[in-house]
Amino acid sequence: MHKEKIERCDCNILHHELVDRVRGRMPGKDEVRAIADLFKVFGDPTRVRIISALFHSEMCVCDIASLLDMTKSSISHQLRILKQARLVRYRRDGKVVFYSLDDEHIKSIFDQAKSHISE
Amino acid sequence: MHKEKIERCDCNILHHELVDRVRGRMPGKDEVRAIADLFKVFGDPTRVRIISALFHSEMCVCDIASLLDMTKSSISHQLRILKQARLVRYRRDGKVVFYSLDDEHIKSIFDQAKSHISE
DNA sequence: TGTACAGTTGAACAACTATTCAACTGTACT
DNA sequence: AGTACAGTTGAATAGTTGTTCAACTGTACA
């Protein structure tokens, strides 16, 4: 019979050994935040559409804005977020900046997500 | 030489044929929203930790609250969101409700995400 | 040098979201 | 019936986030 240390949870621990065992296998604070931050990037319709477009071809900001019927500004803001998450790369050609996907994992993550949705 | 229909985008279309071709391959409005909504569920540290815990074993609300050092209430709110996304199932055993993962795609989605992060 | 235009950026606003709090439900046990 | 406790729920609050607007940068071209 062991008294638990003070828990923020306002209840008795029902399965103490299980909790301790799982606790040892939990990802660290930084990894959890990194995972959540990555999915947060995927969790916006505009960014999903940008990524879906870039699956087919590199495109400039103007192309994407036209395709999605949105302003260049909002597209540029979203591309910055995708850039920070290292999901897109860009190359400059004169006045035009072309964006393309920079990660081979995105396609399979999206495919798995589509599988879940259509089950 | 074709005049474009009015675009919300405040620019000339630079690559019109490309945009038209990609437009035909874009996912529909409902699919885009479904994809974004699913990733939005994954885009929160608390839910990432709940899912990470359930990878190892089914657990009751009290166990999860204790493991994450949070209140039963906040865990219950998050489990409702996971339930609505059809990512967890639950079974009642007396007073206790056990939750477990209800999707075989989650593991591979998370694995791909971890691969991206640690590249 | 001056104009045109693709793209970027910061601030502001509106919409959304996670946690807290309090009240509540449902089951077990006496 | 009454108590105890696991879990749920709705409202409120604080923090976050996407779009807009206006001003700006950088490159091409005359």
- CATH number at B68 reads 1.10.10.10
pLDDT band, very low/low/confident/very high, at A1 (cuts 50, 70, 90) = very low
Q: Is residue A56 part of a domain?
A: yes
Answer whether residue B1 shows pLDDT above 60: no
Q: Is residue A9 part of a domain?
A: no
Residue predicted with more confidence, B16 or A76: A76
The closest CB to that of A105, out of B40, B67, B116, belongs to B116
Mean pLDDT of chain A: 91
- What pLDDT, on a 0 to 100 scale, did the predictor assign at position B99? 98
- Secondary structure of chain A as H, E, C letters: CCCCCCCCCCCCCCCHHHHHHHHCCCCCHHHHHHHHHHHHHHCCHHHHHHHHHHCCCCEEHHHHHHHHCCCHHHHHHHHHHHHHCCCEEEEEECCEEEEEECCCHHHHHHHHHHHHHCC
Please give the average per-residue pLDDT across A84-92, as a whole number: 96
Answer whether residue A2 shows pLDDT above 60: no
Answer whether residue B64 shows pLDDT above 90: yes
* Count of domains observed in chain B: 1
B contact residues 9-38, partner A, Cβ 8 Å cutoff? 9-15, 18-19, 21-23, 25-27, 31-38
Q: Is residue B2 part of a domain?
A: no
Q: Is residue B71 part of a domain?
A: yes
Domain containing A81 equals 16-117
Poorest-confidence range of A4-8, A64-68, B53-57, B100-104? A4-8
Q: Is residue B107 part of a domain?
A: yes
Q: Is residue B37 part of a domain?
A: no
Q: Is residue A102 part of a domain?
A: yes
- Partner A contacted by B81 (CB < 8 A): no
Estimate in Å the CA A48 to C1' D5 gap, whole number.
44
